[in-house]
Amino acid sequence: MNILAVDATAENLVVALSKNNEIFSRTTYDGAKKHNSQILILVEEVLNEAALSIGDVDYFAAVVGPGSFTGIRIGVSSVNALAFACGRETVAINSLEELAYPYHEKEFVTAIDCRHDCYYYARFKDCFENMTELGEMTSRELNDQNCLVIKKTFSSSPDNLIGVAKTKIAKGEFNALASLYLKKSQAEREMEAKNMDKTVE
């Protein structure tokens, strides 16, 4: 079974390919704005290293959010296009699930900095498959959690991406990839603020 997984939701772009349980991967460190020009290059590099063509990929997976709005769109649209061209199923991965993948605790929280002293977070019981909450909280609220808190401070792990994808594939969790946003973009918030100001006037 060959699986291609992509995470473009952060500053680091990660592309991972699993071929018969061997993982090939690439990671860039140039910022989310360059993901669009690099994603297909990295896909081609891992395929070449694994001696596969895009048609040899059995399943495609992408991290759909939360994270960089630009990165989410790039990853989702690129992987959807590749899967559609190959006639393959797609698997959606939550970036907070990827972070939770190695952990097995009675209760724990994963968190990603979303600026302005706030974090996207998810709460889990026992393992990444049991997400009980998903949302946004302040850093103070995060620090007050009475359980293990895992903050994302590094790029996604290729092993974690493939691990989550394999688990979902085994359970038959396939769906068309759709962007997961936990809050409105800055442009949308600014537009709403302007409209509100006009209403007040």
SS (H, E, C) 38-100: HHHHHHHHHHHHCCCCHHHCCEEEEEEECCCHHHHHHHHHHHHHHHHHHCCEEEEEEHHHHHH
- pLDDT, residue 184, reads 58
User: Can you tell me the distance from the alpha carbon of 158 to that of 19, in angstroms, rounded to the nearest whole number?
Assistant: 13
Band of pLDDT at residue 195, cut at 50, 70 and 90: low
pLDDT in tens, 61-74: 999 999 999 999 99
Band of pLDDT at residue 188, cut at 50, 70 and 90: very low
- pLDDT, residue 32, reads 73
Band of pLDDT at residue 186, cut at 50, 70 and 90: low
pLDDT in tens, 52-62: 999 999 999 99
What percent of the chain lies above the pLDDT cut of 70? 91
User: Can you tell me the distance from the alpha carbon of 14 to that of 90, in angstroms, rounded to the nearest whole number?
Assistant: 17
pLDDT in tens, 26-47: 999 887 778 999 999 999 999 9
Mean pLDDT of 81-98: 98
- pLDDT, residue 22, reads 97
pLDDT in tens, 142-179: 999 999 999 999 999 999 999 999 999 999 999 889 99
